[in-house]
């Protein structure tokens, strides 16, 4: 036969990244994204700051260019006005005007040009007719009276404006001023003087030195298209400059390649723009001012990213290492190896997972030991009951239950396997024979109330009680059927049980008591015969609800001639034996007595009389120590037993939950990891 592969191994496995790599990648992406966003925002902010700074510089450049041009005109105007007021110069002008002497006019014009350091000078008569022009000596008699510059000068004003003059090498632009010519003492205007300063490459170079910007002179033709006439910029794409100047914004800003510029128009006296002086700044140079910030930001980004990656790697490894250890431990546990030690320096959540896994291993080890003990050969105990009281196999009881066989006999009655013919289920039927119960109606009412309370307990470690009834002189209970054996049978067979098996028994017993106490039910008769174990090691507590009956009939019990206690009183707390009110701590005491017997093979009071037990309680004697009979017992386990068996209730565990927590903390692979606060006093 071909062996069948393990179903777990047969499942397809998909390749997945490890937890460490996922944490590392996720952390790296988050940090890189955050740092990248900060870097981009910083870079954008730096560029914005640079652009604003550049805009301020351009405005400053434009103001400086316009101020420089205005200063040239102002100086020229003042000097020209002063020269025209010199009597000698005016007399020569007046004489040449009267004689219509062109050579004299030319000499006068050149004299003015030299004195004003101008590019050229033009002299006009009172009608605006050209008398002489130093730029064009051959020209005279032309009518210039229609020009706005001339009109204003002949009207007595000092005027200025740009002048575009064609030439052999192309058009040239000038700054011009016009001043009226009148007698020094005052009188009618005899003509006008127009002086011009060239705006050319030299002007651009001067402005570049003054402003620190590149200067470009562009002339505007009649089609409003710009043409570069002079430039301080390195040789480049002149056509690109001309396109940028032609498409300049309304506020005069232009952009070309890496440069941004601000244009100052050259306007004629009539308001026509004939040229542009553009100051250009390099964006790269402006950004260079913030480059240290961008560089430091990039360095900080790279350093932060490296630190984050390193931290992410360390954190991912710190998280992944204990997880890998948990995986190895899990695989070992599947093979029966429970002796594992997990890292203790893991993060809190991983540490909690490791603690939970340790507890799981303890439970598995304890359950394994208990199952191993349950699998030992059992020497069944022979139980007998009188023929008169025994129900026969096959008998129909209470018109409902068909007796299958006898399971066992106890001090209060017998337990049968029975078939509930109404529900078609197999149940455990327990018969109770007590003269006191039949004679005392109050006891019966309390008994019924206890059964009703017991039916409220729902827990996997509790035998469910179904029904209560009476047939003839027999009271009976029907309960969940447990296919197992009582704990006293196991103790009688094994003697001292393995520590892991005892822990499993105790944990399951205390979980059942915890569930019962939560609904207000105190068992009052916890003892090995009332603890049933099935083959898988599952423990169930039975007989919830009938313990009050046991207590009320305790006074009628018989004792041996030597005064030794027999039956349930061996597991009862001192206050319960004394007839005092009891609470959950009475069950805690009984649970401690059961653990004591499981560990030592003997009951805690096997060698004591009832009077001696009372004396221990009155004298507040130390709690019984199981290590006296079992020296190899772990200290934590012994402390739990002592904490439960304290004679005084206030020295015991306060609840089954507290005792359960202490017992679960005991490691069957070593010593316990914690002790409850109450043990400090109960162990004394």
Digit-coded pLDDT (tens) for 494-510:
999 999 999 999 999 99
Residues forming beta bridges with residue 162, ordered by sequence position: 175
Residues 417, 275 share a domain: no
Sign, CA dihedral 645-648-651-653, equals positive
What is the four-CA torsion angle of 532, 533, 534, 540, rounded to 10 degrees?
Answer: 60
- For position 675, what pLDDT does the model report? 34
- Confidence label for 378 from pLDDT (cuts 50, 70 and 90): low
The total number of residues written for the chain in this structure: 684
Per-residue DSSP letter, 392: P
**Within-domain flag for 363:** no
Is 80 exceeded by the pLDDT of residue 405?
A: yes
For residue 667, what is the domain's CATH number?
Answer: 1.10.510.10
Residue 204's pLDDT is 92
Query: What does pLDDT average to over the chain?
Result: 80
Of the candidates 164, 177, 149, the residue with the CA atom closest to the CA atom of residue 69: 177
DSSP β-bridge partners for residue 480: 427
Q: Is the pLDDT of residue 561 over 60?
A: no
* 257 shares a domain with 405: no
- In a domain? residue 243: yes
Burial per residue of 149-182, b for 16 or more beta-carbon CB atoms within 10 angstroms, e otherwise: bbbbbbeeeebbbbbbbeeeeeebbbbbbbbbbb
pLDDT above 90 for 447: no
Structure tokens at 662: 């202490």
Give residue 433's pLDDT. Answer: 65
Pairwise CA distance, residues 559 & 557, whole Å: 7
pLDDT of residue 345: 62
Question: Residue 280's closest CA among 320, 248, 318?
Answer: 248
Last residue of a domain, one of 288, 315, 342: 288
Q: Is 263 in the same domain as 408?
A: no
Catalytic, out of 125, 362, 489, 525: 525
- Which pLDDT belongs to residue 567? 40
pLDDT exceeds cutoff 50 at 9: no
**Beta carbons within 10 angstroms of residue 208's beta carbon:** 18
Mean of the pLDDT values across residues 184-204?
A: 91
Catalytic residue status for 420:
no
* pLDDT at site 344: 61
Which residues, in sequence order, are bridge partners of residue 475?
432, 470
Average pLDDT over residues 473-501: 90
- Looking at residue 254, its pLDDT comes to 82
Sheet strand arrangement including 474-480? 396-397, 401-410, 413-420, 425-432, 474-480, 465-471
**What b/e string do you get for 216-236 counting C-beta neighbours within 10 Å, with b at 16 or more?**
bbbbbeeeeebbbbbbbbeee
Residue 682 has pLDDT above 50, yes or no: no
Tens-digit pLDDT profile for residues 140-192:
999 999 999 999 999 999 999 999 998 887 889 999 999 999 998 888 999 99
- Give me the pLDDT at residue 143, please: 94
Res. 635: pLDDT tops 80: yes
The predicted structure's pLDDT at residue 339:
61
Domain end (from 288, 306, 340): 288
Asked whether the beta carbons of 147 and 269 are under 8 A apart, the reply is yes
Residue 124 belongs to some domain of the structure:
yes
Domain that holds residue 485: 396-682
**pTM of the entire predicted model:** 0.54
Query: 238: domain CATH number?
Result: 3.30.450.20
**Residue 319 located in a structural domain:** no
**Band of pLDDT at residue 101, cut at 50, 70 and 90:** confident
Confidence of residue 340 (pLDDT cuts 50, 70, 90): low
Q: Final residue of a domain: which of 234, 262, 288? A: 288
How many C-beta neighbours within 10 Å does residue 484 have?
Answer: 19
> Is residue 272 domain-shared with residue 402, that is, in the same domain?
no
pLDDT at 545 over 80: no
The model's confidence at residue 580, banded by pLDDT at 50, 70 and 90, is confident
- pLDDT-wise least confident of 65-69, 213-217, 378-382: 378-382
Q: How far apart are CA 638 and CA 663, in angstroms?
A: 10
Kindly tell me if the per-residue pLDDT of 5 is higher than 90. no
Paired strand residues for 174? 163, 198
Higher pLDDT, 570 or 116: 116
What is the pLDDT at residue 107?
Answer: 92
Mean pLDDT, rounded, for 376-398: 67
Q: Is residue 41 part of a domain?
A: no
Q: Which of 422, 414, 372, 369 is nearest to 393 (CA)?
A: 414
Q: Which helix (H) or strand (E) holds 567?
A: none
Asked if residue 323 is part of any domain, the answer here is no
**Residue 240: its pLDDT value, please?**
80
- State the pLDDT at residue 6: 43
Question: Lowest mean pLDDT: which of 41-45, 180-184, 265-269, 353-357?
Answer: 353-357
Instruction: Please check whether residue 470 lies inside any domain of the structure.
Output: yes
Q: Identify the pLDDT of residue 313.
A: 74
For residue range 641-655, list pLDDT tens digits in order. 999 999 889 999 999
Percentage of the chain lying above the pLDDT 70 cut: 76
Domain count, the chain: 2
Whether the predicted pLDDT of 559 surpasses 60: no
Q: Indicate whether 410 belongs to any domain.
A: yes
Q: Is-contact 596 605, C-beta < 8 A?
A: no
């Amino acid at each position: 036969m071909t062996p069948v592969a393990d179903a777990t191994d047969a499942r397809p496995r998909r390749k997945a990244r490890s937890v460490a790599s996922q944490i590392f990648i996720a952390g790296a992406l988050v940090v890189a994204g955050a740092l990248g966003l900060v870097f981009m925002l910083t870079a954008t902010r730096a560029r914005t700051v640079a652009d604003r700074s550049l805009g301020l510089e351009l405005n400053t450049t434009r103001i400086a260019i316009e101020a420089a041009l205005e200063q040239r005109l102002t100086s020229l105007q003042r000097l020209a006005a002063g020269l025209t007021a010199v009597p000698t110069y005016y007399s020569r002008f007046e004489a040449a005007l009267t004689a219509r002497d062109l050579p004299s006019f030319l000499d006068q014009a050149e004299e003015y040009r030299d004195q004003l350091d101008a590019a050229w000078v033009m002299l006009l008569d009172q009608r605006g007719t050209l008398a002489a022009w130093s730029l064009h000596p051959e020209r005279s008699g032309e009518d210039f009276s229609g020009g706005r510059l001339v009109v204003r000068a002949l009207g007595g004003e000092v005027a200025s404006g740009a002048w575009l003059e064609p030439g052999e090498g192309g058009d040239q632009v000038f700054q011009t001023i016009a001043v009226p010519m009148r007698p020094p003492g005052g009188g009618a205007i005899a003509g006008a003087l127009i002086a011009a300063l060239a705006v050319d490459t030299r002007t651009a170079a001067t402005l570049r030195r003054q402003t620190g910007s590149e200067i470009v002179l562009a002339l505007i033709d009649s089609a409003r298209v710009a043409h570069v006439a002079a430039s301080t910029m390195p040789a480049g794409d002149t056509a690109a400059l001309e396109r940028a100047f032609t498409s300049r914004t309304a506020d005069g800003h232009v952009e070309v390649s890496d440069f941004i510029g601000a244009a100052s128009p050259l306007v004629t006296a009539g308001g026509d723009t004939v040229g542009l002086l553009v100051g250009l700044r390099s964006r790269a140079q402006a950004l260079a001012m913030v480059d240290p910030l961008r560089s430091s930001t990039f360095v900080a980004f790279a350093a932060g990213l490296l630190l984050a990656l390193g931290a992410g790697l360390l954190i991912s490894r710190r998280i992944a290492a204990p997880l890998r250890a948990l995986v190895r431990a899990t695989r070992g546990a599947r093979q029966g190896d429970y002796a594992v030690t997990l890292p203790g320096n893991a993060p809190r959540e991983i540490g909690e997972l490791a603690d939970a896994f340790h507890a799981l291993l303890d439970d598995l080890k304890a359950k394994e030991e208990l199952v191993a003990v349950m699998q030992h050969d059992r020497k069944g105990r022979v139980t007998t009951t009188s023929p008169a009281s025994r129900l026969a196999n096959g008998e129909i009881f209470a018109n409902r239950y068909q007796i299958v066989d006898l399971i066992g006999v106890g001090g209060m009655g017998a337990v049968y396997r029975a078939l509930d013919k109404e529900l078609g289920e197999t149940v455990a039927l327990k018969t109770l024979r007590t003269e006191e119960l039949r004679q005392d109606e109050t006891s019966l009412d309390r008994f019924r109330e206890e059964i009703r309370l017991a039916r409220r307990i729902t827990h996997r470690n509790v035998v469910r009680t179904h029904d209560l009834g009476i047939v003839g002189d027999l009271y009976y209970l029907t309960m969940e059927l447990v296919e197992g054996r009582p704990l006293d049978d196991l103790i009688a067979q094994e003697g001292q049980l393995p520590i892991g098996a005892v822990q499993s028994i105790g944990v399951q017993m205390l979980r059942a008591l915890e569930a019962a106490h939560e609904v207000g039910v105190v068992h009052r008769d916890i003892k090995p015969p009332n603890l049933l174990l099935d083959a898988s090691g599952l423990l169930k507590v039975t007989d919830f609800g009938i313990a009050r009956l046991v207590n009320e009939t305790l006074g009628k019990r018989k004792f041996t001639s030597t005064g030794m206690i027999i039956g349930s009183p061996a597991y009862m707390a001192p206050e319960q034996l004394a007839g005092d009110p009891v609470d959950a701590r009475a069950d805690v005491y009984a649970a401690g007595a059961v653990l004591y017997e499981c560990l030592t093979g003997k009951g805690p009071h096997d060698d004591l009389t009832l009077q001696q037990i009372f004396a221990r309680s009155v004298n507040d004697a130390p709690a019984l120590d199981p290590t006296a009979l079992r020296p190899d017992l772990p200290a934590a386990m012994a402390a739990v037993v002592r904490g439960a068996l304290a004679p005084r209730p206030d020295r015991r565990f306060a609840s089954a939950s507290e005792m359960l927590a202490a017992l679960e903390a005991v490691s069957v692979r070593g010593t316990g990891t914690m002790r409850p606060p109450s043990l400090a006093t109960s162990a004394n």
